[in-house]
Amino acid sequence: MNQQLLEELVGKNFHYYQTGQVANYIPALAEVNPKQLGMAIYDIKQNNLIQAGDASARFAIESISKVPVLLLAIEDNGLETVFETINTEPTGFAFNSILNMEINQQKHPMNPFVNAGAIATTSLIHGKNMDDKFDRILSFMKEICHDPAITLNEEIYLSESKTGDINRSLAYYMKGNQMIKGNVEEILDTYFKQCSVNVTANGLAHLGAVLANKGIAPWNNTRIISEKSATIVKSIMTTAGLYDESGEFSAHVGVPAKSGVGGGLMAAVPNCYGFGVFSPALDNCGNSAAGIQLLKDVVAQLHVDIFD
């Protein structure tokens, strides 16, 4: 993949933004310009990054934050403790649904990428208080995204907190059923903040590259996470990374990926590439409409569908 071809693919897929709409249930996200599309590709073997379109635009990480926070929780607690608290199974219910825990009498959230599982993951982060916990999350995001300019978007955070009643209901349900420990409001405050940091497609490509490179940052050859953590997180991304669209995405695109309602997509092609994509208009499942089409074209061009 070269710069010119990536630019051509961004241009080819730009019009797909018209098939979606920006997230409107979070007021601050509803104000984002939908006419944006950008992508960054980190080539591990060549150790270089190419980008096109709006790859440097900053946007709210939203649910993609569930990946680095899960990785940090594993580093803090170990794999066994984390997955005693949270399952690794896909779910047929919406990402913010309580039904799997209630109907099936689950003792744990289904996976770390549905909201209940993500809140439980955040509860496992170590720290003296909620500010310390968020500072550790932010520092880890800066490191693994190779982006020291990542900051909290206060407007998004306040909007998330104001409209987060379903997440509150999930958290209190889990607390009431001894699924999580700690102060619920402090856990939620940290969760709302982690979803509200500003990242770029370039940063997401670096995150994807660490996962693809078995936990080692290819830009400085430093291990950031364990190889086992990278493997497990990629597998959960494959089965649960795109909400209700995860199965279709795996069938038609075929790379481990995670989406966010801010319009981001992060993908990891084992031993080859990290991908970061941004386009804020979402399809009916809450995933980037133009971003998925662009990622599909790039995967086809590079012949890196892991199921081929």
The binding site for substrate consists of 63, 115, 160, 167, 191, 243, 261
Q: Which residues are annotated as a binding site?
A: 63, 115, 160, 167, 191, 243, 261
Other Cβ atoms less than 10 A from the Cβ of 103: the count is: 10
Q: Which residue among the candidates 22, 32, 66, 299 is catalytic per the annotation?
A: 66
Q: Which residue among the candidates 10, 63, 255, 259 is catalytic per the annotation?
A: 63
Task: Specify whether 191 is catalytic.
Answer: yes
Q: Which residue among the candidates 261, 269, 299, 304 is catalytic per the annotation?
A: 261
Task: Specify whether 16 is catalytic.
Answer: no
Taking CB atoms within 8 Å and a gap of at least 24, the contacts of 217-221 are 217/144, 217/146, 218/42, 218/44, 218/47, 219/47, 219/146
Q: Give the span between the Cα atoms of 191 and 304, in whole angstroms.
A: 33
Strand partners, 151: 198
Task: Specify whether 172 is catalytic.
Answer: no
Q: Give the span between the Cα atoms of 277 and 254, in whole angstroms.
A: 16
Q: Which residue among the candidates 69, 191, 233, 259 is catalytic per the annotation?
A: 191
Task: Specify whether 66 is catalytic.
Answer: yes
Other Cβ atoms less than 10 A from the Cβ of 41: the count is: 28
| Backbone φ, ψ for residue 87 (5° rounding) | -75, 180
Q: Which residue among the candidates 123, 243, 277, 298 is catalytic per the annotation?
A: 243
The answer to whether 117 and 109 are in contact (CB under 8 A) is: yes
Retrieve residue 115's tokens: 């909201």
Task: Specify whether 63 is catalytic.
Answer: yes
Strand partners, 179: none
- Residues that are catalytic: 63, 66, 191, 243, 261
